[in-house]
Structure 1
Amino acid sequence: MSNANEEMMEQWNELAEDMNEAMAQSMEQNMEASAAFMESWADAMEQSIPDDEEFAESVEGYNDAYEVWMDAADQMFERSVAAAEGEDVAATEFRDIWLQSANEAFKEVMGTAAFAAANGQLVNAMMEMREQVDEMSEDTLQQLGMPTQSNVEEIGERLIELERRQHRVEEKLDQVLEALD
């Protein structure tokens, strides 16, 4: 085998290896993101028992998302075959396929009423937790003898009221001075 052929085979092997590595990494990252999303979605769904209609809609959304992922897997396979057959396939095509598929799949799931309800419950739980943290922070600062947010807000309100009073006094003083002139 000539040097040129050996170099070409080496380049081809490197290209194939790079593409396989990029595809494997892309698929792994995408599957991890998908698994994390589905896990958080399942956790949220556990906390809220949807009615039959919401449940059916959420299952349909999940099925639509699954179809999007399967279409992406088909596209990835087709592009891999094309690359193996010698077609010039950029590694970014693989990334773009997964990014577009992820966006479409998330839209399918996020568009359901069950997801909206679960998301609403999640936001409510986060707001309640935030209130509890704020109260604990306020109590801790108060026990340490440091000013709390409530203290600072009260001081701010008093300063604004003092400025209003000062402004009224200045206006009256100006009126008195004008009357004396």
Structure 2
Amino acid sequence: MPMRALLVPDPHRGPGYAVLELHDAAPPDPPVFFLRRASDGAWLSGTGWGQAETALRPEAWNTDRDRQLLMLGTALVDALEPGDAYALTVPGAGSCALETDDHVLSRASGGNGAGRTPPPSPSRRKRLGCALLGVLIFVAWLAGGVALWHGSMSAPASPAPGTAPDDTAEETSFSLFPRTDPDGEPTYEQEEMSKP
């Protein structure tokens, strides 16, 4: 009977870990295997996918009745993508297609708490978008106010009605501390200057 390989979630270690079950295969000696991706023919190594055939070693292994159990960690499980097909080779036992439980790959891809950050929910995106829009509107309002203020400060004074364009009227300037009192009373500065 040909070897059969099945990748299932590890019930003892949780998300991101898996058990590689080898059915109808002798215990691998040494316990190594090779994994090839069908989409591009790349081989899995401890550092990702590449063109070199690389032996992979499980974190632990044992025999349970008629199957060999190889425990895989997150470094290998996270490299597997849902929807892709894989071929498994065990030295001395042969090659076969790797059957994968969808729960293993969905957990490795970030679903169901695999240790990766899940994508933001749509409502969270809306809140971030609204906050960003609010900040942009405030900045635009502030820039418009500064532009208006700057424009009013640099605009030339228009002549008063009834004066000829050639007449030069003295421009009145704004001062927080006027030098003359509107009621005709002497100001503090005038009083200080008149003292001996």
- TM bucket normalised to smaller: under 0.3
Q: TM-score, normalised by structure 2?
A: 0.24
Q: Select the structure that is richer in helix.
A: 1
Going by fraction, where is strand more abundant, 1 or 2?
2
Which structure exhibits the higher relative contact order, with contacts defined as CA atoms closer than 8 Å and separated by 6 or more residues? Answer: 1
The structure that has the greater radius of gyration is: 2
Q: What TM-score comes out, normalization by structure 1 length?
A: 0.25
